[in-house]
Amino acid sequence: MAGNKVWAENGSVMILALAKKNFANGKTNRHAMHDIGAANSTLLLEAASLDIYGHMMGGFHFNETLEAFDLDNNEWEPACFIVIGYLDAPDKLEEPFKSRELAPRSRKSVNEIKEKL
Ligand SMILES: Cc1cc2nc3c(=O)[nH]c(=O)nc-3n(C[C@H](O)[C@H](O)[C@H](O)COP(=O)(O)O)c2cc1C
């Protein structure tokens, strides 16, 4: 999608992460989306250990993706695209991406999460 072009255009590799919805025996894999998420995270950790980085993107055109890759949605679930590349200077980015990239990352405290349970 438009907001992701800045990442997609400048990466070296683009991956389409697909969850396989059924096992070989035809039974539904209820954990397919969990599995692809875990695989993606592991891939990015391994990449980071080699000083290579990835940006996952759930913002993509779903139906166009199925069509472009000739995918049967009964079999495959497009989860996200991942652009992979080497780090560059955030200063080169235009707004609003530059401010987002340079902003300090914030995380909720454990207590804040507990309060919502
Ligand atoms: C499944 C998933 C989908 C995402 N979709 C998008 C997206 O469409 N566009 C985007 O800019 N960031 C998206 N993000 C967030 C970025 O991939 C990244 O995690 C976030 O910008 C934090 O970056 P940081 O690791 O540098 O803090 C998504 C993250 C995940 C896990």
Q: What is the pLDDT of residues 18-29, one digit of tens each?
A: 999 999 999 999
Check residue 36 and give its pLDDT.
Answer: 98
- The pLDDT value given to residue 65: 98
Residue nearest to atom 30 of ligand 1 (CA): 56
Tokens of 52: 């290579």
Q: Which of 15, 55, 88 to mutate to test the pocket of ligand 1 (most atoms within 8 A of CB)?
A: 55
Over 90: is that where the pLDDT of 117 sits?
Answer: no
Confidence check: pLDDT of 8 > 90: no
Beta-ladder partners of 28: 22
Q: Which residue lies with its CA nearest to atom 7 of ligand 1?
A: 57
Q: Which domains are delineated in the chain?
A: 2-88 (3.40.109.10)
Show the DSSP H helices in the chain as ranges.
5-10, 32-49, 62-68, 97-102, 110-115
pLDDT tens-digit profile of 39-87? 999 999 999 999 999 999 999 999 999 999 999 999 999 999 999 999 9
Residue 116 has pLDDT above 90, yes or no: no
CA–centroid distance, 7 to ligand 1, in Å, is 10
Cβ burial of 96 (10 Å; 0-12, 13-18, 19+) is: exposed
Closest Cα partner for 2 from 63, 77, 61, 79? 61
- What is the band of 38 on the pLDDT scale with cuts at 50, 70, 90? very high
What is the Cα–Cα distance from 17 to 9, expressed in whole angstroms?
Answer: 18
